[in-house]
A = this chain, B = another copy of it.
């Protein structure tokens, strides 16, 4: 164990002691999914008022729809979700580098060749939201009946701003 896992275990013991939602069903009760970034400054459940059991939450570096597609398909085709809320955010790390920068850093720090990996950075935040919504809308694996909206979360204010209406 580590200092960290000891602390997380202690926090979890408190959580479990007051836990009352052990009977929730597997499929999300409100039939939607949130796709957002892994960024440490985002707490999707708190920021959007997502109740336990209501929604799938997919998170990756940059809230990438390309990276998240496997999970999105499982969510809507196998578990019945019908709405996607895609949220990128201000100050995203993915705005700060290009693929070649990441490849060079990995090469320098680890001596490993990561040029086969597309790290999916993007230079323009709102355009990236629009592009990812469009990517999902055009995917043969996402039916037209699925509603998709695109948003920006402001890490400075805690607010979400709509970019692409559902």
* A contacts, CB < 8 Å to B: 1-2, 4-5, 7-9, 11-16, 19, 21-24, 26-30, 32-33, 38-41, 43, 45-50, 52-61, 67-68, 70-71, 73-75, 77-79, 83, 85, 91, 93-94, 97, 102, 105-106, 109-110, 112, 114, 117-120, 140-141, 143, 147, 149, 155-160, 162, 165-166
Among residues of B, the one whose C-beta sits closest to the C-beta of A153 is B12
A40-B55 in contact given A22-B158, A119-B70 (Cβ < 8 Å):
yes
Q: Which of A2, A5, A155 has the most CB of B within 10 A?
A: A5
Contact of A38 among B58, B102, B117 (CB under 8 A): B58
3 shortest A-B CB distances, which residue pairs?
A11-B49, A19-B158, A28-B40
Question: Is the CB–CB distance between A157 and B49 below 8 Å?
Answer: no
